[in-house]
Amino acid sequence: MSARLLKALFVLSLLLINGQNLLKAEESKTDKLINEYIERYEALAMEEKERTGVPASIKLAQGLLESRYGTSNLAVSANNHFGIKCKKEWTGEKVLADDDAPNECFRKYPSARDSYKDHSVFLKKHRLNFYDHLFEIDTRDYKAWAVGLQHAGYSTTNYYGRSLIYIIEKFKLYELDGSDLGWTTPTATGECLSDKAREVLDIKLAAGKSSKTARANTSSGASRIGNTTRSSNKSAIKLPGVKVHMVRERDNMEKIAQFYALDLELLYQLNKMSFGSQPAVGERIYLNSEAKNPPQLKTIKYDKK
């Protein structure tokens, strides 16, 4: 092997090591901000749980997700940690921000405490009773609450529940509600609930089975993205020093991560996406560098009757 080639390989190895170290540093920075947010607001979340019955794990996970751990423009400029829009009954201060449509009206609060308190009221006393049935479910069943919030239409995305569950489990927020990992409402208790509450438990159960099946299918056989195997992949775009995957029908983040042998959590962080979200067809997913902006996401609209 020539001296020039050895030097080139040495430089390349240094670049790869430095790149990995930078990514780990960025991940550590994010986790630090998240842990600081939890320390700052967990007492308030517990206080609200005692006052209204909203699980502390759910409230903190929503606050982290909706406010990007307190750093979003809405959280900084309006103390709005839960992305709550004005609605007809709101008489307080307002700010305009882009969401599902440009210049939508959001509530502005005097403090983060006011935002946390209003979030509890919003869930418990919603004028259209979207969330009433969730308060029948045990506060320890964070998965049912997360799935129920998505099913009731708190978010217009089809990954909201998964994102909340991921946050709660990664940072062990379930411990704040006196439960453990994967705590499940007993069947006997579920039979005493209203039809809407039992529907949430059924959806949670079905989602759990679907997730196990997906993991089993992913771990066996050849890696595939859509109908494309690793040996014939044509979705990768080669840019100078940057690898990008162009999203196609039936692609998802789990399959993309497995196909390129990447850490799934890191792939989400590189692309500035909430864990559990899925990119829209035609979007670019960055594989070895940080995206400037998150991709457009697949969305689902809920019919709130």
Encode pLDDT of 271-285 as tens digits: 988 777 789 999 999
Q: What is the pLDDT of residue 295?
A: 92
**261 pLDDT higher than 60:** yes
Q: What is the pLDDT of residue 119?
A: 97
Q: What is the pLDDT of residue 97?
A: 84
Instruction: Report d(CA 151, CA 153) in Å as an integer.
Output: 5
Q: What is the pLDDT of residue 177?
A: 96
The correct CATH number of 224-286 out of 1.10.340, 2.40.50, 3.10.350, 3.30.70 is 3.10.350
Instruction: Report d(CA 98, CA 93) in Å as an integer.
Output: 17
The predicted model gives 7-27 an average pLDDT of 52
Q: Where are the domains of the chain?
A: 20-218, 224-286
What are the helix and strand counts (H, E) for the chain?
10, 7
The predicted model gives 172-186 an average pLDDT of 94
Helix, strand or coil, per DSSP, at residue 246? strand
Q: What is the pLDDT of residue 282?
A: 92
Helix, strand or coil, per DSSP, at residue 237? strand
Is residue 129 packed enough to be buried (19+ CB in 10 Å), middle (13-18) or exposed (0-12)? Answer: exposed
What residues contact residue 244 under an 8 Å CB cut-off, 6+ apart? Answer: 236, 237, 284, 285, 286, 287
The predicted model gives 78-107 an average pLDDT of 89
- The share of the chain scoring above pLDDT 90, in percent, equals 44
Instruction: Report d(CA 215, CA 252) in Å as an integer.
Output: 13
Alpha helix (H) ranges present in 220-274?
A: 253-259, 264-270
Q: Within a 13 Å sphere around the CA of 237, how many CA atoms are in the beta-carbon half?
A: 12
Q: What is the pLDDT of residue 225?
A: 40
Average pLDDT of the chain is 81
Q: Of 216, 210, 274, 281, which Cα lies nearest the Cα of 251?
A: 281
Backbone φ, ψ for residue 57 (5° rounding): -65, -40
The predicted model gives 138-158 an average pLDDT of 91
Encode pLDDT of 24-35 as tens digits: 555 567 788 899
pLDDT bin (cut points 50, 70, 90) of residue 219 is very low
Higher local confidence (pLDDT), 33 or 219 = 33
Matching fold, domains 20-218 and 224-286: no
Instruction: Report d(CA 164, CA 275) in Å as an integer.
Output: 9
Q: Within a 13 Å sphere around the CA of 23, how many CA atoms are in the beta-carbon half?
A: 22
What residues contact residue 57 under an 8 Å CB cut-off, 6+ apart? Answer: 45, 142, 168, 173, 174, 176, 177, 179
Encode pLDDT of 180-214 as tens digits: 999 988 888 877 899 999 999 998 888 776 555 54
> H-helix or E-strand containing 107?
strand 104-107
Flag the least confident range among 15-29, 37-51, 60-74, 205-219.
15-29
What would the CATH number be for the domain defined by 20-218? 1.10.530.10
Q: Which two tokens stand for residue 190?
A: 């579920």
pLDDT bin (cut points 50, 70, 90) of residue 258 is confident
Instruction: Report d(CA 191, CA 195) in Å as an integer.
Output: 9
**106 pLDDT higher than 60:** yes
Residues 275 and 162 sit within 8 Å (Cβ to Cβ): yes
For the beta carbon of residue 305, count every other beta carbon within 10 angstroms: 4
Is residue 303 packed enough to be buried (19+ CB in 10 Å), middle (13-18) or exposed (0-12)? Answer: exposed
Q: What is the pLDDT of residue 273?
A: 86
Instruction: Report d(CA 256, CA 258) in Å as an integer.
Output: 5
pLDDT bin (cut points 50, 70, 90) of residue 255 is confident
Flag the least confident range among 10-19, 90-99, 149-158, 205-214.
10-19
